[in-house]
Amino acid sequence: MRLRILPSLLSLLLPLAAGAEVALAAADGLMIKNQFRIAAPATRAWESLIHPERWWPADHTWSGKREALSLSATAGGCFCEQWAGGSAEHGRVIMAIPNRMLRLDAALGPLQEMAVSGVLTITLAEKDGVTSADVSYRVSGDPAHKLDALAPIVNEVLGLQFGAFAADAGRR
């Protein structure tokens, strides 16, 4: 009986991932699309989104501490990390429409040193108090990087990162 309850409890704790896919995988580019349903209004989802220090996985930071992250959700704003002895710009905000859309110019993680171009877009749409969060990430670069081989890994990592965002937004 306890074994049946555990999956039910886990489903309540995790946001419903409505879809995750590698939409494009080529040697010179990739496109990842993830969608999450959040049992919260878009205003609450936005409030969570712009505070990555609350939800971004610590093991996906340079410092090892999510608290070192900050995001200024305005055009030109920085998705940055600062710690004793270093700092990093993970992305630059290129468009922000509060409660609806956030777009960053971002070569995340190890893609940063590959000199690729990445655009991360998070779109929020609310219906009946439930928010759909569409996360897309398009990366372009030199075919020598073989981005098609990285696409499944990038998809998995984005699902982890933005799954944490959706979970945070749903419980606040």
H or E segment to which residue 16 belongs: strand 16-26
Spell out the per-residue pLDDT of the chain, length 172, in tens. Answer: 333 333 333 333 444 455 778 999 999 999 999 999 999 999 999 999 999 999 999 999 999 999 999 999 999 999 999 999 999 999 999 999 999 999 999 999 999 999 999 999 999 999 999 999 999 999 999 999 999 999 999 999 999 999 999 999 998 7
Q: Which residues pair with 69 in a beta bridge?
A: 81
pTM over 0.85: yes
Cβ–Cβ contacts within 10 Å for residue 166, how many?
28
Residue 35 corresponds to which amino acid?
Q
Domains, the chain, ordered by start: 19-171 (3.30.530.20)
Quote the strand ranges of 27-168, DSSP E.
Answer: 29-38, 69-71, 78-83, 86-97, 101-105, 117-127, 130-140
